Amino acid sequence: MSSPTVARSAADLTAAELLSAYRTGELSPVEATKAVLDRILRLDPQVNAFCLLDADGALDAARASERRWQRGEPRGRIDGVPVSVKDLFLTAGHPTLRGSHSIDPAGPWVLDAPAVARVRAHGGVVVGKTTTPELGWKGVTDSPLTGATGNPWDPSRTSGGSSGGSAAAVALGMGPLSLGTDGGGSVRIPAAFTGTTTIKPTYGRAPLYPASPFGTLAHAGPMTRTAADAALLLDVMAEPDTRDPWALAPAAPTVEQLGRSMAGLRIAVSPALGHAVVDPGVAAAFAAAVDIFAALGARVEEVEPGFADPIAAFETLWFAGAAKSIEHLGADERARLDPGLLAVAEQGARTSAVDYLGAMAVRNELGILMGGFHSRFDLLLTPTLPITAFEKGVEVPLGWTGERWTTWTPFTYPFNMTQQPAASVPCGFVGGLPVGLQIVGARHADGLVLSAAHAYQQATDWHLKRPPMLG
């Protein structure tokens, strides 16, 4: 155990480092899983990232993986790597309660969602399920069922959402990989707030089942500490599943595209998308990140894509999805819902078909505009969020002028509307709290987005910073 790779706790290693250590015999999947379970037991009480822990099942899976490695027959891309699962994904043998009292824990729970099935097929060790706001409806993670999830950098602040439990888990070494979802920023928001790395892939790249009530806004994405790990997990998640009629044809592995040079790449830079108000510290961290890409040889140009804030159209679509998600509930069940979810669902229920189609028309025009934009620019850089993490347990920062989470996420939801790939990587700190850089590519350019994220991380060390509670 003297190798530099395993000198740290196994819980602090990336998936790529774990696989390398398994390959050489310096570390076993059982040792890694025990380290992760110990980390969860020690630190999760401070942040509330997990709503379900399956220590026995994880150890059984780790022992099976260990036997495969000992025979020199690892199964798939992530054999023996601990993985957590956001509690929106169906997971056979465990309840998927989605942060809601309205779902019967008795099940039956016999199906895996596509991403979970692919993780198991590739030997991943599922350690448990992570917290989400009720039905994944907002950009912070608190729910009537599981309470609020805190930020690893300051547990009194939010981890973001809706994949906030996954982000907190990854940041604290409670498993290097986690499965998340993103309907308006839900992997990118918590990644920015917690200093972790993610990508919302092109819509359809990672199959989903069952279909989200939020329709084609909702994507599945990997949550990790590095772009290399995000590429690894995305390649697992992107394998075909016939249960998703909108899934894309298989693409070239993103892992194989990570070494691309940034030299000559045409990169547009938009500090505010033409309308956002950005915290000065966030703006400074973003500007410094842009300088890194220029130093890497990219042709960087500050230019706005040229669209007005599509918040009204997004909220029309999103709130209608919220209405759909609770349409089957009676009055008693509705009374136990998150009040914010109930309010937006009631608003969405009043949306007419004409209004919905009008919002879809805005979405279509935005997609056309961005398609043209990416004929001139390979990538677009923005801040992931205009602010850093605020108090947990509230939808918007105290004193904020807007009522809904959408008012402080102007950089994320537009790219759910266009279905483009968008990554978030850590790029600095303001007052001890992480800042995120968003890297957006044309539809289907997932490999390019991740190669840019990887190149940035090869040139910086923000992704190596660890929360103070890790000691």
Pairwise CA distance, residues 308 & 187, whole Å: 23
The mean pLDDT values, 10 residues at a time, for the chain of 471 residues are 56 98 98 98 98 98 98 98 99 98 97 98 99 98 98 98 99 98 98 99 98 98 98 98 97 96 98 98 98 98 98 98 98 98 98 98 98 98 99 98 97 98 99 99 98 98 97 87
Pairwise CA distance, residues 352 & 319, whole Å: 12
111: left (phi over 0), alpha (psi -120 to 50) or beta: beta
**Amino acid symbol at 414:** P
Question: Distance of CA 118 to CAs 55, 121, 390, Å?
Answer: 20, 5, 35
By residue count, the chain amounts to 471
Pairwise CA distance, residues 343 & 334, whole Å: 10
Element housing 152 (H / E): none
Pairwise CA distance, residues 92 & 42, whole Å: 27
Pairwise CA distance, residues 384 & 365, whole Å: 23
Identify the active-site residue in 159, 162, 166, 325: 162
Which pLDDT score is estimated for 7?
A: 56
Buried b (16+ CB within 10 A) or exposed e, 303-319: eebebebbbebbbbbbb
- C-beta of residue 152 within 8 angstroms of C-beta of residue 196: no
Pairwise CA distance, residues 441 & 415, whole Å: 10
Whether the link from the prior residue into 210 is cis, omega within 30° of 0, is yes
Pairwise CA distance, residues 369 & 324, whole Å: 29
Expressed as residue numbers, the domain containing 361 is: 4-470
- C-beta of residue 109 within 8 angstroms of C-beta of residue 26: no
Task: Give the sign of the dihedral formed by CA 113, CA 118, CA 123, CA 128.
Answer: negative
Identify the active-site residue in 28, 84, 86, 129: 86
- C-beta of residue 207 within 8 angstroms of C-beta of residue 240: yes
Q: Among 220, 205, 204, 216, which Cα is nearest to 359's? A: 216
Which pLDDT score is estimated for 92?
A: 98
Q: Is 325 a catalytic residue?
A: no
Q: Is 324 a catalytic residue?
A: no
Buried b (16+ CB within 10 A) or exposed e, 49-80: bbbbbbbeebbebbebbbebbeeeebbbbbbb
- C-beta of residue 115 within 8 angstroms of C-beta of residue 220: yes
Number of structural domains (the chain) is: 1
Pairwise CA distance, residues 266 & 253, whole Å: 23
* Reduced 3-state DSSP string for 221-283: EEEECCHHHHHHHHHHHCCCCCCCCCCCCCCCCCHHHCCCCCCCCEEEECCCCCCCCCCHHHH
Q: Among 421, 32, 374, which Cα is nearest to 188's? A: 421
Sort 470 into a burial class: Cβ within 10 Å, 0-12 / 13-18 / 19+: middle
Report the Cα 61 to chain-centroid distance in Å. 25
Element housing 327 (H / E): none
Which parts of 114-255 fold into alpha helices (H)?
A: 114-121, 164-171, 188-194, 227-237
Q: How do 197-200 and 266-269 pair as beta strands?
A: unpaired
Question: Distance of CA 34 to CAs 45, 100, 135, Å?
Answer: 18, 30, 31
Task: Give the sign of the dihedral formed by CA 39, CA 33, CA 89, CA 98.
Answer: negative
Identify the active-site residue in 186, 212, 270, 424: 186
Pairwise CA distance, residues 373 & 32, whole Å: 45
CATH number of the domain to which 281 belongs: 3.90.1300.10
Q: How do 147-148 and 142-143 pair as beta strands?
A: antiparallel
Pairwise CA distance, residues 435 & 279, whole Å: 10
Q: Is 162 a catalytic residue?
A: yes
